[in-house]
Amino acid sequence: MNQSQTQEIWRLAGVLLIGAVVGLITSTLWPAIAVALLAYCLWLLRNIFKLDRWIEKGLKRSAAPDAGGVLDNIISNIYRLKNSQKSGKKRLAQLLGQFRDSAKALPEATVILTTTSEIQWFNEAAEILLGLQSPRDIGQRIDNLLRDPEFRKFLHARKRKGELRMASPLDSSIIFSCRLINYGKENLLLTVRDVSIRERVDRVRREFVTNASHELRTPLTVIRGYLEVMSTDKTCTSDVQDKMRIILEQTSHMEIIINEMLTLSRLEHSTLEAEEGEKLNIAEILQNLVLDAVQSGRAVEGQITVAADETLCLLGMKQEIISVCNNLLYNALQHNPPQTPVDLQWFRSGSGEPCLVVEDDGIGIESHHLSRLTERFYRVDSSRSRESGGSGLGLAIVKHIVQRHGGHMDISSTPAVGSTFSCTFATSRIVKCKK
């Protein structure tokens, strides 16, 4: 019990005492006490009315009634809460102002939408990039202003993944990258940035890779033909023939690199629709790859084990998925000591996603290499990779193929223990195999 409550109890006791004394003097004890209580209630009611008027006037400190007791404590608490609320509102207004100032300064166009696609707010970059005008376009549907069919499909899609590339509504030569983020229950955040320069650079790079690869193919084919003839020429000494065979091997290696560069360039800038592909029996593909590895001498009998769900098929591009399996198996065999055990797994994870796992008990990889393994031409051990004939593009190709199929690749490894390469595909690509 606080001081104001104690004060109020003593005040009530005093009123009752006065009423009792007056009642004893006048021989009307109970009527006197009742009158005293009524007077106390009227006084309390009067102070409550004063408190109500003070609240209506806006809780101004100078107009606060002097009620004393509990009511005075209530007034103090109300005033303290008001000040706290006022301080909180001021802080919130400052944070909101800072957010809007920072959003205005962003080089990316930023638009806040309702779930029905109505514009609530946008920054200055949105006015420049998208041609929006304030306050004219506030409350308008964004798809009525940006009429690109692909943007409408992207805006109203139930599941949005990644970003959308579209031409600017103001200049078709400008390419935008659009992202939509759900926040709260009733809001969407649309961000748009100009990626025209990056697109042009990527296009130039792709054209260079394609043109260079095609231009190199013809002379390499000619060189290879002459080398094949010369390496078997009986008039050449054995030393010359050996050198010719080495040159021929390097020529073949260069042809492999060129082909994989073309493949990677195609994969990086191509999309795969959810329904594209054919039903692939992954268990069968893995068994065939193991058989081929043993027959070619890359592995020995029993070195590779396969644990695959034969009822689980994958909807995908056949040659691409075979390439994924082959590249991962090739890495496990070529970059580890001979006869290193390799385990191939194909199963459905606990979350329902189809998973391809290649695990070995080999030399392992240092942790600082793991994040860079899917980079082009990145080698953990360049000398060992060249000796094994690797191009440095295999894992990059695997990553892009898996992404094309709505999945992702994870790599884990421990030196002297082994490595695990896991490819997880989209659940939408699960197909039931016939038993």
Tell me what the mean pLDDT of segment 211-219 comes to: 76
CATH topology of domain 200-268: Helix Hairpins (1.10.287)
Give the C-alpha separation, 20 to 27, whole Å: 10
Instruction: Look at residue 234 and give its three-state secondary structure.
Output: coil
Contact indicator for 422, 410 with CB cutoff of 8 Å: yes
Name the 3-class secondary structure at 1: coil
Q: Flag whether pLDDT at 7 surpasses 80.
A: no
Topology of the domain comprising 107-194: Beta-Lactamase (3.30.450)
Helix 29-56 with 69-105: angle, nearest 10 deg: 20
How many other C-beta atoms can be found within 10 angstroms of the C-beta atom of residue 344? 23
CA 377 to CA 390: how far, in whole Å?
9
pLDDT at 342: 92
- Checking if the pLDDT of 65 tops 70, the result is no
Between CA 52 and CA 46 the distance in angstroms is 10
Q: What are phi and psi of 112, to 5 degrees?
A: -95, 125
CA 376 to chain centre: 23
Going through 215-322 in order, the beta strands assigned E by DSSP cover 278-280, 304-308, 312-316
Quote the CA–CA distance of 137 and 171 in Å, as a whole number: 20
**Predicted confidence band of residue 347 (pLDDT cuts 50, 70, 90):** very high
Tens of pLDDT, residues 111-142? 888 888 898 888 888 888 888 888 888 999 98
Is 123 strand, coil or helix? Answer: coil
- Pick the more confident residue, 431 or 97: 431
List, edge to edge, every strand of the sheet that includes 312-316.
278-280, 312-316, 430-432
Tell me the percentage of the chain whose pLDDT exceeds 70.
88
Per-residue pLDDT for 391 more than 70? no
Whether 72 and 4 have beta carbons less than 8 Å apart is answered as yes
> 0.75 cut: is pTM over it?
no
Average pLDDT over residues 333-344: 88
Contacts of 264 (CB under 8 A, 6+ apart): 376, 393, 396, 397, 400
Check whether 388 has a pLDDT greater than 60: no
The SS3 of residue 276 is coil
Q: What is the CATH architecture assignment of 278-432?
A: 2-Layer Sandwich (3.30)
Q: How many Cβ atoms are within 10 Å of 77's Cβ, its own excluded?
A: 11
* Mean local confidence (pLDDT), 301-310: 90
For residue 61, what pLDDT is reported?
A: 56
For the chain, the structural domain boundaries read: 3-100, 107-194, 200-268, 278-432
Tokens of 230: 């010369």
Say how many CA atoms lie within 13 Å of 373 toward its Cβ: 21
